[in-house]
Structure 1
Amino acid sequence: MPFIKIYIHFVWSTKNRVPYLKSKELRQKVWHHIKENAKKKGIFIDFVNGYTDHCHCLVSLGTDQTIQKIMQLIKGESAFWINKEQLTDEKFRWQDEYFAVSVSESMIDRVRNYIKNQEKHHSKKTFKDEYQEFIDKYGFERFKDE
């Protein structure tokens, strides 16, 4: 059996960055569901959190998992569940796009803390500003004007 340790930090937003996830209680319910559902599908989410209009996940990839498949399973199922449970006033949707970057083992704790402190972080900075920082930091020039 192979032993791999590859961590990916995923970030994705709600469709058109609509702040569907308005209350802390709702967000916690959604993050808990995402983690539990992923576990059932064999996806190991190390940490999940976010804010009113986006989600961060730190995921450890399994041997047969791809970034695309993980995002499809997490985003698709969670949007379906949110709508089925009628947790938002209008139809909930995630944006099609997402951000994914590998995380070295030496940075895992730093990324966990960053994800953990989303509420505090976004009291000072919008998701749009954060997104632009990611683009600039990781050199994703092709996404600059989106």
Structure 2
Amino acid sequence: MANTYTQIHIQCVIAVKFRQSLIKSTWKEELHKYITGIIKNNGHKMISINSMPDHLHLFFGFRPTQSLSDLMKMVKGSSSEWINEEKFNNSPFKWQEGYGAFSYSRSQIKKVALYIENQEEHHRHKNFLEEYKQFLDHFEVDYDEKYIFKPLE
């Protein structure tokens, strides 16, 4: 649309269903490239992406040409289908329902990207649920404990 100018930076956090540790180091880079392709093919700009065995962070410049929920539905649906087609795991791969999305100003881009790139170090001190609740609290997002990402089962 003519005369539409935006600067929107979003970090999304998605978890593997039941927070199982199914994202393996042997193929996680391929997953990152695949998801980056989805983001780019939808007109957005990937800034940083990284994953732990049970969850993934993606940080991107978002263009308001589609809804965030439609984009995340595409990212999660297409990537889980791809993981299963590639037979990276012995059991079917699924993302847990829902996602977290947090917006940042331009001045925070480097800090957030560095945070995502250093996930392995960060998670030596804090588990995923602690991290996720900290995001929700920091951004003052109201949430119901029963709908938060499920603990390990």
Alignment TM-score, normalising by the size of structure 2: 0.87
1:18 maps to 2:9: no
Aligned residue for 1:142, secondary structure, equals coil
Q: What is the CA-CA distance between 1:85 and the residue it aligns to?
A: 0.5
Q: What is the CA-CA distance between 1:88 and the residue it aligns to?
A: 1.3
- Return the alpha-carbon distance in structure 2 between the equivalents of residues 121 and 143 of structure 1: 25
Q: What is the CA-CA distance between 1:131 and the residue it aligns to?
A: 1.2
Q: Which residue of 1 aligns with 2:11?
A: 9
Alignment of 1:101-112 (within 5 A): 101-112=102-113
- Change beyond 3 A, Cα 1:115–1:122: same
1:35-60 deviation digits (Å, cap 9, x = unpaired):
12332333322211120111111121
Q: Which residue of 2 aligns with 1:125?
A: 126
Alignment of 1:1-146 (within 5 A): 1=2, 2-22=4-24, 24-145=25-146, 146=148
- Return the alpha-carbon distance in structure 2 between the equivalents of residues 113 and 96 of structure 1: 27
> Cα RMSD (Å) of the superposition?
1.5
Q: What is the CA-CA distance between 1:137 and the residue it aligns to?
A: 1.4
Q: Which moved more, 1:96-105 or 1:122-131?
A: 122-131
Alignment TM-score, normalising by the size of structure 1: 0.91
- Return the alpha-carbon distance in structure 2 between the equivalents of residues 122 and 9 of structure 1: 17
More helix by share: 1
Moved over 4 A (4+): none
Aligned residue for 1:120, secondary structure, equals helix
Among all aligned residue pairs of Structure 1 and Structure 2, give the percentage whose two residues are the same amino acid.
31
Gaps of 5+ in 2: 149-153
Given that residues 34 and 78 in structure 1 are in contact (C-alpha distance below 8 angstroms), is that contact kept between their aligned partners in structure 2? yes
Gaps of 5+ in 1: none
- The aligned length equals 145
Aligned residue for 1:141, secondary structure, equals coil
